[in-house]
Amino acid sequence: MTLPDTTSAAALLDWYRSMGVDEVIEDTPVDWFEAAATAKAVVRQPTNEVPRQPASRSQSAEPRPGFNTIAPDEAVMDARERAAGAKSLEELEKALAGFNGCPLRATAKSTCFKRGNDDARIMLIGEGPGRDEDLQGLPFVGRAGQLLDKMLGAISLTEEDVYITNIVYWRPPGNRTPTTQEVAACLPFLNRQVELLDPDIIVLIGGPASHTLLETKEGITRLRGKWRDCEIGGKSRRVMPMLHPAYLLRTPAAKRHAWRDLLSLKAALKPQE
């Protein structure tokens, strides 16, 4: 039998897929019930080998070198002390670099502290870094971030006009939603970040960021586009939740809502321009 070359094989597989083929069967049928019965009838021969004991949690789940685990309550206290001691955004970023209280740091490649202008009037807060963000060490640089930049550009805003961060600074494995413990460990840094930047407007991007900072469980589709005053970073701030760009990529029809919210943001900036 002559095997097809790589190109031919790939073309054949594409054709199978287009034809709806989703499984492979053999020419000769197999009685799996008989095979299972035969397997159960096999008696294992005695052995002199000593059975291996399963590894303990401490042996099989070693933390990454340089990462020391901290109890959740201790982590929050440590985060508060470190954040409070920072007198500038630069000092806060350095304080975060020495913080091991968030479990996400053990699996992430990079710390994604911020992107944008340290003197910006507008602060955008999202959920957490994804794969591209983890690789580059910056928030909102993947597909969702690129869409976010285009959305801001539609109302004449650039990276120099905004300050972008997330409620957690390390990528959750598999891009899952951050846990309550992970968010709690990062929240003192985020509150201090808001306090030091002191923005005129905060845009909460997506459900997790809105739920965390507004302390509500109401759905993002109900929260979006509504201005409210909320105490963040020790001061009442003007805040508006928006749909996450990742959601807009999955649900293009929702872009009309995002456009209305962008126009509302643009209007909010005019009086002080």
CATH of the domain at 246: 3.40.470.10
261 assigned to some structural domain: yes
98 assigned to some structural domain: yes
Domain that holds residue 196: 72-272
Instruction: Calculate the CA 45 to chain-centre distance.
Output: 51
pLDDT at 37 over 90: no
| Mean pLDDT computed over 140-144 | 97
38 assigned to some structural domain: no
C-beta atoms surrounding 230 within 10 Å: 17
Kindly report the length of the chain.
273
Q: What is the predicted pLDDT for the residue at 112?
A: 98
pTM score, whole prediction: 0.75
- Total tally of structural domains belonging to the chain: 1
pLDDT at 51 over 50: no
121 assigned to some structural domain: yes
4 assigned to some structural domain: no
> Mean pLDDT, the chain, as a whole number?
84
124 assigned to some structural domain: yes
Separation between Cα atoms, residue 94 and residue 97, nearest integer Å: 5
Q: What is the predicted pLDDT for the residue at 39?
A: 46
Tell me which DSSP letter residue 56 carries: P
Separation between Cα atoms, residue 137 and residue 70, nearest integer Å: 24
| Mean pLDDT computed over 151-159 | 97
pLDDT digits (tens, 9 = 90+) for 106-138: 999 999 999 999 999 999 999 999 999 999 999
pLDDT digits (tens, 9 = 90+) for 96-110: 999 999 999 999 999
Q: Which of 22-26, 68-72, 103-107 tops mean pLDDT?
A: 103-107
Structure-block tokens of residue 56: 């303990």
59 assigned to some structural domain: no
pLDDT at 21 over 50: no
Q: What is the predicted pLDDT for the residue at 60?
A: 31
To which residue do tokens 């808001």 refer? 194
66 assigned to some structural domain: no
Banded pLDDT at 52 (limits 50, 70, 90) = very low
| Mean pLDDT computed over 168-174 | 97
Q: What is the predicted pLDDT for the residue at 85?
A: 97
